[in-house]
Amino acid sequence: MANEVLTVDKKTVLEMKNYYQDRLKPQTPSGAVFAAKKSTVNITGYNSGKVLFQGASASEEAQIWAKNSLSTGTTTPKKHAATKKPIDTPLPKGFSNWSVIGSDEVGTGSYFGPLTVVAAYVSKEQIPLLKELGVKDSKDLKDPQICAIAKDLLTFLPHSLLNVMPEKYNKIQPTMTQGKMKAVLHNQALGNVLTKIQPDAPDAILIDQFELPSTYYKHIADQQIQIKEKVYFQTKGEGHHLAVAAASILARYAFLKGLEEMSKDAGITIPSGAGSNVDLVAAKLLKRGGITLLGKYAKLHFANTDKARKIAGLK
């Protein structure tokens, strides 16, 4: 069984914890920031910056983070490590000035709210305008800024926004992993934008990477239309092209609006994330209307559902 160790900085450990938010184990070993399980891989991030990947496909999983690593170690034979390929296909020179369709998703780690995937087309002529409007990495933007920029973008930017609300999500999720759902939605959104912008065509497509390209293509193998041409994957894609940054801003905006509408509907403020404040709100909803009501707003397969049941005294 393969084990992989990466050494990363503290910021990356937190970023990883966020990335694995809906796969976190309830218990973390001492000295650890988080412990998560993603299908066959156990991932443990430590205060020291060491991140341990254990189990089948450990090395595949570690590769997602390989470019953040300060140094790599492996407990498998050195020969294996030497043949390891970097995960990100290097982007061609000048890529950030190309005409690109970018895609990103929001809501995968949040218990409440939709899963939102957006693809958006930014032609090279539009890049200066997007910069002017303040489009950049949405992690550097506050929610009100995101909403203001999104409202501008919605008026002219060719895009496709796919919002899976919790009720639908909960119906699909038992037979489809979240990873597959994301891949199918990205593929769909990209296809929609390609159709929308015809006869124009992008120089490339950039997907904000959430899993290995090989896994992504496995997930969409049963789809009628599979977007594969000129496709690139990058972690932190928003830093590589404004099309991903714009997609990310639009997705975040739709997600926030979704939470706002749910809050109005439920008459209670529905928070994002998967922390303990989320459990308390979930417990209130459970007491009020059982799992049917909770399932209107929440992704029920998260561990938060059990925690909420306990808080509500239902288990």
In the bound state, the residue with its beta carbon closest to Mg ion is 208
CA distances from 86 to 24, 59, 304 (A): 26, 11, 35
- Least distance in angstroms from the C-beta of 200 to Mg ion: 25
Range 207-226, binding Mg ion (CB under 5 A)? 208
| Interface pick for Mg ion out of 15, 22, 104, 211 (rule CB under 5 A) | 104
- Closer Cβ to Mg ion, 238 or 279, answer by number: 238
Task: With contacts defined by CB under 5 A, name the span among 83-91, 102-110, 148-156, 292-300 that binds Mg ion.
Answer: 102-110
- Contact (Cβ atoms closer than 8 angstroms) between residue 228 and residue 241: no
- Least distance in angstroms from the C-beta of 158 to Mg ion: 20
The answer to whether 238 contacts Mg ion (rule: CB under 5 A) is: no
Residues 123-142, one symbol each (x = binds Mg ion by CB under 5 A, - = not), give --------------------
Residues 181-210, one symbol each (x = binds Mg ion by CB under 5 A, - = not), give ---------------------------x--
The answer to whether 60 contacts Mg ion (rule: CB under 5 A) is: no
- For 2, the token pair is 């393969």
- Contact (Cβ atoms closer than 8 angstroms) between residue 253 and residue 114: no
Task: With contacts defined by CB under 5 A, name the span among 3-11, 34-42, 104-112, 195-203 that binds Mg ion.
Answer: 104-112
Q: How many residues bind Mg ion (CB under 5 A)?
A: 2
- Least distance in angstroms from the C-beta of 244 to Mg ion: 8
- Least distance in angstroms from the C-beta of 271 to Mg ion: 20
**What backbone phi and psi angles, to 5 degrees, belong to 236?**
55, 45
Q: Distance between CA atoms of 101 and 48, rounded to whole angstroms?
A: 38
- Closer Cβ to Mg ion, 248 or 305, answer by number: 248
Give residues in contact with Mg ion (CB under 5 A): 104, 208
